[in-house]
Amino acid sequence: MLTVTEAFRKFKSNLELTLKEQDDASRRQREIRAVMARSFKIERDFLSGSYKRWTKTKPLKDVDIFCVLHDDERKTYDDGKGPGPLLDKVEKVLADEYGKDRVHRQRRSVSVEFPVRADEERVMSFDVVPAFTKSSHYEIPDERNPKGWTETDPEVHADKATAANQAFSGEWKGMVRMLKAWNRHTGCPVESSFLLEVMALELFRPPFDTDYPCEFMAFFATAQRRIHQTWPDPAGLGPPVNDSMDAVASAKAEAAFRDAQYTVREAINLGEQGRNGEALRVYKRLFGDYFPLS
């Protein structure tokens, strides 16, 4: 039987992206860029978000493709009408290629879904984010921002994730993936997975002491207390990361953090009583099917 530490290390490994998934993401990126390039003048594009930061978890979905448009395109959309016309065009271009039923408009992007069997190691969906260069960073459409646009810098986000991982003995990114697995398994009480990641930048305090359960219990306990506070964009450019969560959504997340803390405590108590198998089953109940029992 696995020890608790062995189980968490295997859990971390189970959530890592495979070479097939990475290859599929790269292939789809090139395909989507070609579709976009037929209607837009693209300066460059790159995979960003949690995929780029290596904090994306399984199943692989909502991979961000940053499409940086040439400045010539800016003239078309600097007309005071906000980001709507740009997102309208991105939505139409993608719907014409993939079908309206597989394309969905979002606040800052347009999502494309791909049919994937449960046993396939492929990407389920991409979020196509049109962007313009602004100084040393970028601006992207944002239909909930009164200005119509949000400034962002995914490179800064990636650098902060790398620094946190190094400070935490190489464990930080894996533990963020575990948190995201918990959130998805629990029904996404924390509406933004990026919010979980931003909270983890502050709440996982180095050095890592090799005790996964205690680290998670401390995270959940502190997150419960602090979920209602404002969590700024780590790059210092965009709106708060939790700006879309109202009081009701924050209360739901608070309750989920509290329940998770109590569940970890339950599993720790079982382990201290020598009931290792029962402890592992409690962790699996908390984190989902990717958590191993053997």
Do 245 and 264 lie in one domain? The reply is yes
Is 294 inside a domain boundary? no
CATH number at 132 reads 3.30.460.90
Q: Does one domain contain both 54 and 109?
A: yes
Q: Is the pLDDT of residue 147 over 90?
A: no
- Considering the domain architecture, whether residues 23 and 148 belong to the same structural domain is answered as yes
Same domain? For 8 and 73 the reply is no
* 267 lies in some domain: yes
Question: Do 46 and 166 belong to one domain?
Answer: no
Res 78: pLDDT:
63
Among 126, 152, 178, the domain boundary falls at 152
Instruction: Determine the Cα angle at 23 with ends 121 and 187, to 5°.
Output: 40
Tell whether 293 is covered by a domain. Answer: no
Same domain membership, residue 23 and residue 147: yes
292 belongs to a structural domain: no
**Whole-number mean pLDDT of the chain?**
91
Digit-coded pLDDT (tens) for 38-92 = 999 999 998 887 877 888 877 778 888 999 999 888 877 766 667 888 999 999 9
pLDDT confidence band for 28 (50 / 70 / 90): confident
Specify whether 207 is located in the same domain as 264: yes
> φ and ψ at 55, to 5 degrees?
-115, 10
Same domain, 173 and 109: no
Q: Would you state the pLDDT for residue 213?
A: 96
Assess if residue 217 is contained within a domain: yes
- For residues 92 and 148, membership in a common domain is answered with yes
Q: Are residues 121 and 24 in the same domain?
A: yes
pTM: 0.89
Residues 81 and 9 in one domain: no
**Domain, as residue range, for 254:** 4-15+156-287
Boundary residue ending a domain (124, 152, 180): 152
In this predicted model, what pLDDT tens digit does every residue of 247-275 receive, in sequence order? 999 999 999 999 999 999 999 999 999 99
Q: Is residue 28 part of a domain?
A: yes
Residue 103 domain-assigned (yes or no)? yes
Domains of the chain: total: 2
pLDDT in tens, 165-188: 999 999 999 999 999 999 999 999
- Asked which of 152, 182, 216 is the last residue of a domain, the reply is 152
Q: Evaluate whether residue 45 is within a structural domain.
A: yes
pLDDT at residue 80, as a whole number? 64
Q: Are residues 132 and 183 in the same domain?
A: no
